Structure 1
Amino acid sequence: MSRSVLISGASRGLGLATARELAARGYRVFAGVRASGALPADTGAGEVLLDVTSQSSVDEAVQHVLREAGGIDVLINNAGLHAFGALEAAGEARFRELLEVNLLGAWRLTRAVLPDMRARGSGHVLMVSSLSGLVGLPADGQYAASKFALEGMSESLALEVQRFGVRVTLLDAGPYDTDMLRRDDSALHQLSSGRHGAAYEPLHRALLGQKRSGEPPRNAAGIIASVVDDPPDRLRIPIGPVAEQVFASLEIDRGERARRVALQAASAGWWIRGEEPE
């Protein structure tokens, strides 16, 4: 019987490429999209209406997959938004929207799926994060804030659910070619002409002048599918050559070892080890 996968944000870009790759590998893929008919017919996946900012939409989507597949083996939290621009010039509404989708959306969907995974004693939750969740850069503060928060939430989640047989993996993606970045161009123009924007206009102009490109989404999708095929013991996985270079520079493995040392002294260590309190 094919393992079931639910992926959010699957109508385009990395989400669509990952849905296609997993379907080609024999998984039963449920591709979450916000509008009916948004999933290309040749994807090989089943379309599921899913808006991660709506609890009712999340609940309906999860219940649909449970009815159809009998369980959810893998959840991929891929839905995300991006925003360029200096923090002083940023608008609060857009900032809140990023947090709503990138952080709370992943939390809502994960929370809805976990009861089934816990009951079956197995499951794999993958969080599509970014190097922006590890390193903050100029004009990337809104997105970085959402991804840094996702990284911290996922670290805690991994320790909370491992005793139930549920694995959590952070996928830290480097740059890949997607229209998510290209859609930021008009927003950058608005920022530079809006409140406080003039002070940062040279920075915004430089960003607009850059040729933004990266790895094809299908390359990243292949790495993600391999993680689904053979889940690693590590919490964080670099996606793409740039991510691998950054991981080496940040000594991510060393950080993981330091994290384990800190956990040994944690008052909740018994929980993490799957034991009962003394």
Structure 2
Amino acid sequence: MTVDRVWFVTGASRGLGRAFAQAALAAGDRVVGAARTLAALEELAAEHGDRFLALPLDVTDRAAVRAAVDEAVRRMGRLDVVVNNAGYLAMGMLEEFGEAEARAQMETNFFGPLWVGQAVLPHLRAQGSGHILQISSIGALGGFPLTGMYSASKFALEGMSEALAAEAESFGVRVTIVEPGGYWTDLYTSGLVMTEPLDVYAPLRAELEKRFAEGSVDSLPELAAEAVMRLVDSDDPPLRLLLGSAVYDLAFDVSRQKMETWAAWEEVSRAAEKAVPAPPWLEFSATHAACSD
């Protein structure tokens, strides 16, 4: 286990981000907590002194992300664990989303981690080590009514993170996609944005509200933080880590359903492929492109 690690945690002022920061500090590590507003981080700064650095940051601002990461390295000397936690939930039926609302969800939940990854990689690559944690969601296991845009942002995050893991591995940098289930944070309060509802979806909304009321039991964020500490202490961290029984069971159910569907349609899938030589027009296009260069 690395002694005196330095963490860079986005969205550190509340919810899971704050729990991760507190757990790291309790373990004796140093933490850079990045958030849009710093008032909620004053207590941590006062309690932990120079072991905690609060930085203002909007992860959708690529230039600001680079500046914050550079400042963190300048002040702390290095980065060891980077936690892309900043995000929010835009809730509504897909038909209800305006362009600005849809793009804003992707800007924070997908482009934010992309900008952070681009900013930290030169530093991690230079030191030959580091662990990037991408905080995904149970929503990345499938698309569900009301959370379609949120799921889209997390699906995109996971696809990007798989590629990042493969690209960074040779430099000694590890990537883990963390998929939490339900935790008692402000994701459903101050971290929630609702679309303007269309009347046509009222029956489906009523059905979903009943379902949520009957089966919604979440956990304390500290349990997620304990799991993350075990993750970063591991000498062989996984590409993915599920947090919670609900998300664990759902992951297997969704995987089985996909495999059963693929198997049922195997004949059609295999019939859609038959290798043939490249057509003449494709060869011409490739030659023309080479000559153009």
Q: Specify which of 161, 174, 199 is matched with residue 154 of structure 1.
A: 161
Q: 1:102 to 1:116 in 2, by over 3 A?
A: same
Deviations 1:72-125 (A, max 9, x none): 111000000101111011222111111000000000011000001111111111
Distance 1:119 1:186, change over 3 A: closer
Q: In 2, Cα distance between the equivalents of 1:146 and 1:74? A: 23
Q: Of the candidates 130, 140, 153, which is equivalent to residue 123 of structure 1?
A: 130
Asked whether 1:9 is paired with 2:11, we answer yes
Corresponding residue number in structure 2 for 1:267: none
Matches within 5 A, 1:1-278: 2-42=4-44, 44=48, 45-183=52-190, 187=194, 191-192=196-197, 197-208=198-209, 210-211=212-213, 212-230=216-234, 232-250=236-254
CA distance in 1, matches of 2:208, 2:185: 16
| Structure 1 residue 54: Cα displacement | 0.8
Stretch moving more, 34-43 or 159-168: 34-43
Aligned partners of 1:127 and 1:169 also within 8 Å: yes
| Structure 1 unmatched runs, 5+ | 256-278
| Contact 1:81–1:101 (Cα < 8 Å) also in 2 | yes
Contact 1:85 1:204 in 2 (8 A): no
RMSD: 2.1
Look up the SS of the partner of 1:26 in the other structure: coil
Unaligned residue ranges in structure 2 (runs of 5+) = 260-293
CA distance in 2, matches of 1:86, 1:114: 36
Calculate percent identity across the aligned residue pairs. Answer: 39
Distance in 2 (alpha carbons) for counterparts of 1:237 and 1:184: 23
Q: Is the 8 Å Cα contact of residues 79 and 102 (structure 1) preserved in structure 2?
A: yes
User: What SS class does the counterpart of residue 89 from structure 2 fall into?
Assistant: coil
Q: Matches of 2:205 and 2:99 in 1, distance apart?
A: 18
CA–CA separation in structure 1 for the residues paired with 2:183 and 2:34? 21
**In structure 2, do the counterparts of structure 1 residues 66 and 186 end up closer, same or farther at CA, with 3 Å as the change threshold?**
closer
The residue type equivalent to 1:168 in the other structure is V
Q: How many aligned positions are there?
A: 247
Contact persistence 1:5–1:75 (CA under 8 A): yes
Q: Secondary structure at the match of 1:39?
A: helix
Structure 2 distance, partners of 1:97, 1:213, is: 29
Q: Distance in 1 between matches of 2:89 and 2:11?
A: 13
CA pair 129-185 structure 1, distance change in 2 beyond 3 A: closer
